[in-house]
A and B are shown apart, each in its own frame.
Chain A
Amino acid sequence: MSKTKKVDIVVVGSGPGGYAAAFRAADLGKKVLMIDKDEQLGGVCLNRGCIPSKALLHISKVVAEASSLSSAGVSFSEPKIEIETVREYKNKIVSKLSSGISQLAKVRNVEILCGEASFLSNTELDVKSDKGQISILFKKCIIAAGSSSSMIPGLPAGHPSILTSRTALELEGIPKTLLVVGGGVIGLELGQVYASLGSEVSVVEFLPALVPGADEDIVKPLKRKLSKQFKSIMLSSRVVDVVPNEEGGLGVVIESGGENKELTFDKILVSVGRRPNTPQLNLESTDIKTSEDKFIIVDEYQRTSVDNIFAIGDIAGNPMLAHKATHEGKVAAEVASGHPAAMDARAIPSVVYTHPEIAWVGLTESEAKSNNIPYEKGEFPWAASGKAMILDAQQGKTKVLFDPETKQVLGAAIVGPSAGDLISEACLAIEMGSDADDIGLTIHPHPTLGETFAAAVEMYTGTITDLYIPPKRGK
Chain B
Amino acid sequence: MIKEIRLPDLGEGIDSAVVSEIPLGTGDPVAKDDVLLVLESDKASMEIPSDHTGKIIDVLVSEGDDISTNDLLFKIEAVDSGPTQEAPNENLEASKEPDPKPDPKPDPKPKELKVNDSVFASPGVRRLSRELEIDLNFIKGTGAKGRITKDDLHGYIRIRMQGGSSGLRLPRKTIDFSQWGDTETLKLTKVNKITGQRLQESWQDIPHVTQHNVADITELDGYRKKLKEEAAKTGKKVTFLPFLMKAVVLVLKEMPRFNSSLDEKQENLIIKNYFHIGVAVDTPSGLMVPCVKDVDKKTILELSEELVDISQRARDKKLKPDELKGSSFTISSLGGIGGTGFSPIVNPPEVAILGVSKSEWKPIYNKESKEFVPRYMLPFSLSYDHRVVDGASGAAFVERVSAVLCDMGLFKD
Interface residues of A (CB under 8 A from B): 6-8, 29-31, 122-123, 137, 139, 299-301, 303, 307-308, 335-346, 431-433, 435
Contact with A along B116-157 (1 / 0, CB 8 A): 010011110011001101000000000001010000000000
- B83 contacts the other chain (Cβ, under 8 Å)? no
If the complex has contacts A123-B92, A137-B97, A301-B110, are A342 and B105 also in contact, measured as CB distance less than 8 A? no
If the complex has contacts A123-B96, A299-B111, A339-B131, are A31 and B101 also in contact, measured as CB distance less than 8 A? yes
If the complex has contacts A123-B92, A433-B121, A435-B145, are A6 and B131 also in contact, measured as CB distance less than 8 A? no
Whether A340 lies near B123 (C-beta < 8 A) is no
- Chain A residue nearest to B148 (CB atoms) is A433
Residues of B82-122 whose CB lies within 8 A of A: 92-93, 96-97, 99-101, 103-108, 110-111, 113, 115, 117, 120-122
Partner of B110, one of A8, A303, A345: A303
Could you list 9 examples of A-B contacts with CB < 8 Å?
Answer: A123-B96, A137-B96, A137-B97, A139-B99, A300-B110, A301-B108, A339-B131, A433-B121, A433-B122
Partner of B115, one of A6, A31, A123, A344: A344
Looking at chain B's contact residues, the main secondary structure is loop
Query: In whole Å, how far is A388's beta carbon from the nearest beta carbon of chain B?
Result: 31
- Chain A residue nearest to B114 (CB atoms) is A300
- Chain B residue nearest to A346 (CB atoms) is B117
Partner of B108, one of A30, A139, A340, A432: A340
Residues of A within 8 A of B120 (CB): 433
In the A-B complex, the 6 residue pairs with the smallest Cβ-Cβ separation, listed nearest first, are A338-B105, A344-B115, A340-B130, A338-B103, A299-B110, A340-B108
Whether A139 lies near B93 (C-beta < 8 A) is yes
Residues of A within 8 A of B126 (CB): 344
Whether A335 lies near B122 (C-beta < 8 A) is no
Whether A335 lies near B96 (C-beta < 8 A) is no
The interface centre, meaning the residue of A123, A300, A303, A344 with most chain B CB atoms within 10 A of its CB, is A344
Partner of A433, one of B97, B100, B113, B147: B147
Whether B92 lies near A338 (C-beta < 8 A) is no
If the complex has contacts A308-B92, A431-B122, are A341 and B100 also in contact, measured as CB distance less than 8 A? no
Query: In whole Å, how far is B366's beta carbon from the nearest beta carbon of chain A?
Result: 65
Partner of B100, one of A31, A342, A345, A431: A31
Whether A340 lies near B117 (C-beta < 8 A) is no
Interface residues of B (CB under 8 A from A): 92-93, 96-97, 99-101, 103-108, 110-111, 113, 115, 117, 120-123, 126-127, 130-131, 133, 145, 147
C-alpha gap A432/B144 in the complex (Å): 12
Residues of A within 8 A of B99 (CB): 8, 139
Given A300-B115, A301-B110: 18 more A-B contacts, CB < 8 Å: A6-B100, A7-B100, A8-B101, A123-B92, A139-B99, A139-B100, A335-B108, A340-B130, A340-B133, A341-B127, A341-B130, A342-B115, A343-B115, A344-B123, A345-B123, A346-B117, A432-B122, A433-B120
Whether B97 lies near A431 (C-beta < 8 A) is no
C-alpha gap A341/B121 in the complex (Å): 16
Residues of A within 8 A of B117 (CB): 346
Query: In whole Å, how far is A310's beta carbon from the nearest beta carbon of chain B?
Result: 11
- Chain B residue nearest to A343 (CB atoms) is B115
C-alpha gap A301/B106 in the complex (Å): 14
C-alpha gap A340/B133 in the complex (Å): 8
C-alpha gap A211/B284 in the complex (Å): 73
C-alpha gap A137/B98 in the complex (Å): 11
Whether B100 lies near A338 (C-beta < 8 A) is no
Residues of A within 8 A of B108 (CB): 301, 335, 340
Whether B104 lies near A8 (C-beta < 8 A) is no
C-alpha gap A344/B410 in the complex (Å): 63
The interface centre, meaning the residue of A7, A30, A433 with most chain B CB atoms within 10 A of its CB, is A433
Whether B110 lies near A337 (C-beta < 8 A) is no
Residues of A within 8 A of B97 (CB): 6, 137
- Chain A residue nearest to B130 (CB atoms) is A340
Residues of A within 8 A of B107 (CB): 307, 335-336, 338
C-alpha gap A73/B113 in the complex (Å): 62
Residues of A within 8 A of B127 (CB): 341
Residues of B within 8 A of A30 (CB): 101
C-alpha gap A139/B95 in the complex (Å): 12
- Chain A residue nearest to B121 (CB atoms) is A433
- Chain B residue nearest to A307 (CB atoms) is B107
Query: In whole Å, how far is B92's beta carbon from the nearest beta carbon of chain A?
Result: 5
- Chain A residue nearest to B129 (CB atoms) is A340
C-alpha gap A457/B131 in the complex (Å): 35
Residues of A within 8 A of B122 (CB): 431-433
- Chain B residue nearest to A137 (CB atoms) is B96
Query: In whole Å, how far is A301's beta carbon from the nearest beta carbon of chain B?
Result: 5
- Chain A residue nearest to B113 (CB atoms) is A342
Residues of B within 8 A of A339 (CB): 105, 131
C-alpha gap A435/B146 in the complex (Å): 12
- Chain A residue nearest to B120 (CB atoms) is A433
C-alpha gap A431/B123 in the complex (Å): 6
Residues of A within 8 A of B105 (CB): 338-339
C-alpha gap A186/B105 in the complex (Å): 43
Residues of A within 8 A of B131 (CB): 339-340
Partner of B104, one of A299, A338, A342: A338
C-alpha gap A73/B231 in the complex (Å): 112
C-alpha gap A343/B106 in the complex (Å): 19
C-alpha gap A98/B97 in the complex (Å): 35
Residues of B within 8 A of A343 (CB): 115
- Chain B residue nearest to A407 (CB atoms) is B145
- Chain B residue nearest to A435 (CB atoms) is B145
Residues of A within 8 A of B93 (CB): 123, 139
Partner of B103, one of A122, A123, A337: A337
Query: In whole Å, how far is B266's beta carbon from the nearest beta carbon of chain A?
Result: 19
If the complex has contacts A30-B101, A433-B121, A435-B145, are A342 and B130 also in contact, measured as CB distance less than 8 A? yes
C-alpha gap A337/B107 in the complex (Å): 8
Query: In whole Å, how far is B347's beta carbon from the nearest beta carbon of chain A?
Result: 34
- Chain B residue nearest to A28 (CB atoms) is B104
Query: In whole Å, how far is A306's beta carbon from the nearest beta carbon of chain B?
Result: 9
C-alpha gap A336/B103 in the complex (Å): 9
Residues of B within 8 A of A432 (CB): 122-123
Query: In whole Å, how far is B401's beta carbon from the nearest beta carbon of chain A?
Result: 44
C-alpha gap A137/B103 in the complex (Å): 16
Query: In whole Å, how far is B95's beta carbon from the nearest beta carbon of chain A?
Result: 9
- Chain B residue nearest to A123 (CB atoms) is B92
The interface centre, meaning the residue of A122, A123, A343 with most chain B CB atoms within 10 A of its CB, is A123
Residues of A within 8 A of B113 (CB): 340, 342
C-alpha gap A434/B97 in the complex (Å): 51
Query: In whole Å, how far is A437's beta carbon from the nearest beta carbon of chain B?
Result: 9
C-alpha gap A299/B110 in the complex (Å): 7
C-alpha gap A298/B107 in the complex (Å): 16
Query: In whole Å, how far is A234's beta carbon from the nearest beta carbon of chain B?
Result: 40
Residues of A within 8 A of B103 (CB): 337-338
Query: In whole Å, how far is A358's beta carbon from the nearest beta carbon of chain B?
Result: 25
C-alpha gap A343/B130 in the complex (Å): 11
C-alpha gap A397/B287 in the complex (Å): 67
The interface centre, meaning the residue of B96, B97, B103, B106 with most chain A CB atoms within 10 A of its CB, is B103
C-alpha gap A137/B92 in the complex (Å): 11
